[in-house]
Chain A
Amino acid sequence: MDLFQFSRAESVAQAVAAGAESPTAQQGAQVRFVAGGTTLLDLMKLNVERPQRVVDINKLPLDKVERTADGGLKIGALVRNSDLAHNEMVQKDYAVLSQALLSGASAQLRNMATTGGNLLQRTRCVYFRDTAMACNKREAGSGCSAIGGFNRMLAILGTSEQCIATNPSDMNVALTALEATIHIQGAKGERSVPIHDFFVVPGSTPQQENVLEPGDLITYVTLPAPAAGSKSVYLKLRDRASYEFALASAAVVATVEGGRLKRVRIAMGGVGTKPWRMVEAEKALEGHAVNEGTLHKAAEAALRGAKPQSENGYKVELAKRCLMYAVKQATQAV
């Protein structure tokens, strides 16, 4: 690990000013904020992250979960994953978020990892984590060892010739289905970005994973008020029952009225280069009764654009079944 200069931010403004000195907020950033540290320290030990400056933001007052005026929820960027998962408002109104959080990592890691940090969790692609291997995400232009390599865990949606790395987060999948908004304090002021626009697909610049600019600090995440009568579910399929990343996962928020799906939001994890919103599947389901026919149609629509790699073709069928089963669970009468 390279030696770095350590400081503690006393205010959001101080953190933003420090971050703004880095030429980038993406891969290769020279200034990094540390909160839980669960991703950053891991990658610094591997020399994948080599910041010259680390700014501890743990003392900033961003650790509250509060109701918003419109009945939604405001989640501070420093709220720990375990606290968010066990928050009463989250468990009651946003079950999918609680379930997603509790399906990720271990109890120890959930006690450390934060909401803001989880949004910025990096891929588990083995080539990204190994500096001896070519990886366009880690080192632009070096190539992609995963294409044609060990890619069993990697993405089938949103990939490019440059990168097929999966976004590993469970929380991000739930936040995508819940249509969360990310609030950012930057060098030029405050702004809000819908989660769908926050993450970017790799394209020809896989080192760019989101819209964050130098100095940008995620301050909180807001959720819209829960739709009346909605039910939500997170389903995660993986190689072992606990403490493992998703091969495919689905977050579903559904409202059934008169036997038909009035409104449904679906996002999937483990299959995309970013948390993947299944808009086509939602369209195929809304206004219809949930049955094998409509579920199959929705699943086909969801995976139509899938591009399997040499070792992950199984994910196409796995993802379809995951989606169908999760929608069934979310629409069953309680």
Chain B
Amino acid sequence: MADEKQKAGSAEDSGGAAGKVTRRSFLSHLGAAGVAATASPLLAAAPAAAAMPEASEAASDAKIVGSVPVSLRVNGKVLKLQVDPRATLLDTLRESAGLTGTKKGCDHGQCGACTVHVNGRRVNSCLSFAVMHEGDEITTIEGIGQPGNLHPMQAAFVEHDGYQCGYCTSGQIMSAVALLKEPCGPTDADVKELMSGNICRCGAYPNIVAAVQQVRLRS
């Protein structure tokens, strides 16, 4: 251990300026570069949306070729949108409604990160076009609880440490909340079976199951 520390120390020293680079500063630089790299093509591709709001308003008057009007009820609020028919419910929630709590993982219905409730039932929002949900009641993670007023399932995930990186968490919680109203046996195995559509690459499964079971027992 001491040897390793010494080696690391000497490497930093010999690196001169590199000696001031910490893990945190390195990652934050990387993050800034990443944002610049991804933001620039977007800005270039969509000057109307970024620089000329009046142009994008005009576009929303059904001027986009092939676009379709749709009205969704999202977390109790009516959203009237003009969307590309190719836009999934997931992308529409994230990009048009600004509700980024719902995550895009695989985008093919395999990971469950995009789980939301449609008319009270959990679905993969990546496998549904937004235009298919005219009049539907959509609930996202933002709609079930807020900081300071957490849903019991959210509180249980915090209590049981049901996550590491957090990317799958909103999907896990949306699945778990829906599970409370579904036919499900009492055992951990029953919960695992009904949660198998939500993948956690960090492997927080035991803690997720514990959180779900605690809420089921108390409700």
Where the two chains meet, the residues of A that have a C-beta atom closer than 8 Å to any C-beta of B are 1, 3-6, 8, 34, 36-38, 41-42, 45, 54, 56, 58, 82, 86, 105-109, 111-112, 241-243
Contact = CB atoms under 8 A, between A and B. Distances in A.
A106 B196 contact: yes
B127 A242 contact: no
Given A106-B197, A107-B197, A243-B196, A112 B129 contact: no
Interface string B53-80: 0000000000001101000000000000
Interface string B179-206: 1001100000000111111100000000
A79 B129 CA distance: 19
B124 A109 contact: yes
Contact of B127 (A38, A54, A86, A107): A38
Contacts of B182: 107
B121 to A, nearest CB: 5
A3 B109 contact: no
B112 interface: yes
Contacts of B132: 34, 37, 56, 58
A127 B189 CA distance: 34
Nearest to B84: A3
Contacts of B196: 106-107, 242-243
Interface in B84-116: 84-86, 88, 107-109, 112, 115
Contacts of A242: 192-193, 196
A109 B197 contact: yes
B85 A105 contact: no
Contacts of B194: 107
Query: Which of B108, B178, B192, B198 counts the most chain A CB atoms within 10 A?
Result: B108
Contacts of B129: 6, 34, 37, 41, 54
Nearest to B122: A108
B170 to A, nearest CB: 13
Contact of B85 (A3, A37, A58, A111): A3
15 contacts: A5-B85, A6-B85, A6-B129, A6-B131, A34-B129, A38-B109, A38-B127, A41-B109, A42-B108, A58-B132, A107-B182, A107-B196, A109-B109, A111-B121, A111-B122
A179 to B, nearest CB: 28
B127 A41 contact: yes
A243 B197 contact: yes
A36 B132 CA distance: 10
B128 interface: yes
B208 interface: no
Contacts of B198: 106
Contacts of B193: 241-242
